Amino acid sequence: MKSKATTYVFLAAAIALYCLAKAAAVAVSAQPAPAARDIKIDNFTFGPAELTVPVGTTVMWANRDDIPHTVVSTDKAFKSKVLDTDEKFSFTFSTPGTFPYFCSIHPKMTGKVVVQK
C-alpha cells in the first residue's frame, strides 16, 4: 500500500516537472526572435545591403560566394582578412553612426551598417 502511494507521488512529481518544462519552453519561444545580425555575401553582393542595429550589436558577415571577398569599412573602423568560401568575419558596433563598407577585391560591392542608440 505504501509503495503504491510512493509510486503515485513520483508520477505526480514527474507530470508536474514535465508541465513546468513545457511551460518554460513556451515562455522562451514566446520571446521575440533576435533581429537579423548576419550579412550574407553571395553572388558579388552583401545581403542585406543596409542593416540597422542597436549599439553593442555584433554583426557577422559570412562569405557564401565561390569567390574570396573582404569586408572593409570606408572610414577604417573595421577590416576583415580575405574571406574564402564559408569563412566569417564579425565586428561589434560600440558607437552609433553609419558605417559604409565595401569589398576591397571587388570595390563595386558595397554595404552599410546603421548603428542606432
The footprint of other proteins (CB under 8 A) covers 44, 66-68, 70, 79, 81-82, 84, 104-108
Q: Which is nearer to other proteins, 53 or 65 (CB)?
A: 65
CB of 15 to other proteins, least distance (A): 55
Q: Which is nearer to other proteins, 68 or 100 (CB)?
A: 68
- What's the N-to-C CA distance of the chain in angstroms? 66
Q: Which is nearer to other proteins, 18 or 44 (CB)?
A: 44
CA–CA dist 93, 72 (Å, integer): 14
**What residues pair up with 38 in beta bridges, in sequence order?**
60
In this structure, what is the dihedral angle of CA atoms 31, 35, 40, 45, given to the nearest 10 degrees? Answer: 150
CB of 26 to other proteins, least distance (A): 44
CB of 33 to other proteins, least distance (A): 33
Q: Which is nearer to other proteins, 67 or 114 (CB)?
A: 67
CB 18 within 8 A of CB 81: no
DSSP code, position 69 = B
